[in-house]
Every structure is written in C-alpha cells, then in structure tokens.
Structure 1
C-alpha cells in the first residue's frame, strides 16, 4: 500500500475513533486497529495522538476550505454566497458525522491543551464568512455597523448547532435546504442594509 493511502486511512480512522471515543480516551492502538495497520505504523506518519488530531483538523477542514472556495469563486452576490457556504457546510456535516463530532467537541476541548496550535484551517474556513460579509458591506448590501469577525462566529455557531443536533438524534426532521433557508432568513434580516432594501 502506498504511503499516501496509509496516511489517508489513518486520518480517516482517527476521525472515526475520536468521534466515537473522544480524543482523551482514544488510544493509538484504537486508531491502528480501525485503520487496519500495526501500532508502530502510526508512528511512521505521526509523532503522537496530538499530531494526529492536528492533522485531522488541517487536512479534513482544509478540504472544506478548498471546496467552499471553489463553489464561491464565480458568485458575486453576498447573500447567495452565504447560502452556498451554509448549504455546503450542512451537507458536508450531515454526510460526515464523525468529522462534525470532532469539529464540535474536540476542537473546543483540546484547544486549551494544544497551546502552539492555532487552528489555522478552521480559522481560514470561517474567515470565508467574514470576507463575504465584508464584500456585502463594500457593496452596501450589508450594514456597515456589523462586525464581520463576530458575525462569522455567530453564523458558524448556528450551523454548528444544527450539526450537533443531527449527531445526537437518529434522524433530522429537516432537510439541508430547509435549514439553510431558515438560518439565512434570520441572519440576513439582521445583516441587510435597510437603505438598499
């Protein structure tokens, strides 16, 4: 098996194990078993469990960043861009509930411990929302008294909470489109510049 394939398999296995057991309870041997590799193989690719977790964040969230950027590159309407971001994020979290679980729980818990790690990929991901809001402000579509840095976290927080509910319930009563429409209806009502409505 190619080294690239083993690396990807370990990342995938770690995401599943961290989601199921939690980062602190999970052991390297659990990840190796899930990835169907020897325990020692893990250390060929990663220094320790923290290194694996950082790689999960950087690589898996890095994929979300690239996918979002590609989906948004030809769109110019800030409202439509927020809709695309929200719909794609919710669809990704519904499809990969293990990643959603790791983002929601582990990103918050372990951030206190991994002092040198600054969640670069995650910040780049939610910064997409801030830039959409700034774009809307430049075009005078969105209010200029809205702080994009706070707004991006409020917006992402709403999406994150929906993902959390999906993970704790066996099924969602709402579709991705229904939830996207509701989040945008609430959020855009506060963002829109009344003078341009």
Structure 2
C-alpha cells in the first residue's frame, strides 16, 4: 500500500471514529445505528465494515485511540526522572482538561463505562489497561523515590485514583457543566497526595 493510500485510509478511519463519538454522545451506544455513524462520517454504510467488524468494535477502537492519546500526551510532558507527585498532578490535569475540551468524549466515557454489556465492558477494560498501568507505574516510582508510602497497595490505589477522577468528571456532567472541570485539579490532587505521601 502506498503512503498516499495509507494516509487516505487513516483519514477515513479517523473520520468514522469522530462521527461515532458524536453519534454515541448524542444518542448513546445502544440507540446508535451504524447507518447514523456512516451518514455523520459522510461514507456509505458498507464502508464502515471495511474498517470495523461492528458497532462494538467502533466503540472499543474509540476508547483505545482516545485513551492511547492521553497516555502519549502524558509521556510527552512527564519523564522517567520527574517526581512522582508531579506526575500524579499531570495525569489528573490531563484527564480533566482533555475531557473538559472534548465534552462528547466525556459523555461517552462516562455512559459507556457504566452501561455496557459484560462482553463490551471486558473489551473496554482492556482498552483502559495502558492508562491504569500508567498510574501504577507512577505509584511504583513514587515509592522508589521515597515520596509515597512503602505500604501502599499499588493495585488498589491505581483504581482508586482512576475511579475518583472518573467520578469528578461524572459529577461535572450531571451538573450540566456549571463549573470548570480543570479548576478541580488542585483539590483532587491534594486529596490524592495526602493519602499517598510517605
């Protein structure tokens, strides 16, 4: 495949994901048809199936792409030798600012993480793994740096951190976005660090 064809294919793939995000945010996953996504993306229904197996595959790919992007952004801003407490701040900051900028993504992540079928939930959990692993790596680094408590249950704490950030985003959406999500970073990180510090 020539680079021009590969680029065109990538552009179409991204257009479908962008359209799916909009459709899922407006109608919810279960009420969204592939035909609606195709119409929003400006492609024929059959074109969708050249890129994705089914609607579930679109949602899983969406999670994988968006969360992968968050992990990449984190690695662009935080380096191995940075302090772990600063890295926790950066994770929270990125989580809140990115979802505040992309309300459709915030809606889809909040709804679909809670309402999906067992099989779909399992696949979404796999897509979440690199993000959860990132939090775990920072916690381990914090223990090694002597910043975080040695008796920290890393596996539990990584879930508590992700879950707390997730709940802050949910509350912000439920409120009708009446306040700034990114303005919640300091209080959230302060809460985390009080429990983490050695």
State the TM-score, normalizing by the size of structure 1. Answer: 0.88
Residue correspondence of structure 1 range 16-31 to structure 2 within 5 A: 16-31=22-37
Shift of 1:63: 1.1
Pairing partner for 1:45 from 38, 51, 59: 51
Equivalent residue, structure 2, for 1:63: 69
Matched residue, 2:197: 192
1:146 equivalent to 2:178? Answer no
Question: Are residues 1:114 and 2:124 paired?
Answer: no
Structure 2 alignment gaps of length 5 or more: 1-6
Is 1:182 aligned to 2:198, yes or no?
no
Question: Structure 1: 5+ residue runs without aligned partners?
Answer: none
Hey, what's the Cα distance between the residues in 1 that align with 2:181 and 2:50? 42
Q: After alignment, is 96-105 or 82-91 more displaced?
A: 96-105
- 1:83-94 alignment to 2 at 5 Å? 83-94=89-100
SS for the counterpart of 2:152 is coil
Alpha carbons 1:142, 1:191 under 8 Å: kept:
yes
The alignment partner of 2:116 has SS state of helix
Partner Cα distance (2:44, 2:22) in 1 = 17
TM-score by length of 2: 0.88
Cα offset, 1:25, TM superposition = 1.2
Q: What secondary structure, in the 3-state scheme, does the structure 1 residue paired with 2:133 have?
A: helix
List, as ranges, runs of 4+ consecutive aligned residues in structure 1 with deviation greater than 6 Å.
none
Q: Distance in 1 between matches of 2:154 and 2:135?
A: 8
RMSD of aligned alpha carbons:
2.0
